[in-house]
A and B are shown apart, each in its own frame.
Chain A
Amino acid sequence: MSIKRIATIAALTAIALTIFMLEAQIPVIIAVPGVKLGLSNIVTLIAVYILSKRDAGIILALRIMLGSIFAGNSMIFLYSAAGGLLSFASVCLTSSFLREKQIWAVGVLSAIAHNAAQIAVAALVMDSLALFWYLPWLIIAAIITGAFTGLSAQFAVKSLKNTRLR
Chain B
Amino acid sequence: MTDKFISIEGIARRYPGAGGGTTTVFEDLWLSMARGEFGCVIGHSGCGKTTVLNILAGLDEPSEGAVIVDGQAIEGTSLDRAVIFQSHALLPWRTVLGNVAYAVSSKWRKWDGARVKAHAQKFIDLVGLTGSEHKRPSELSGGMKQRVGIARALSITPKIMLMDEPFSALDALTRGTLQDEVRRICLETGQTAFMITHDVDEAIYLADKIFLMTNGPGAVLAEIVENPLPKDRGRIDLHRHPYYYALRNHIIDFLVSRSKSFAATATGHDPRNVPTVRPGLPELAIASEAKPSTQTSWPGLSRPSTSS
Indicate, yes or no, whether A interacts with B.
no
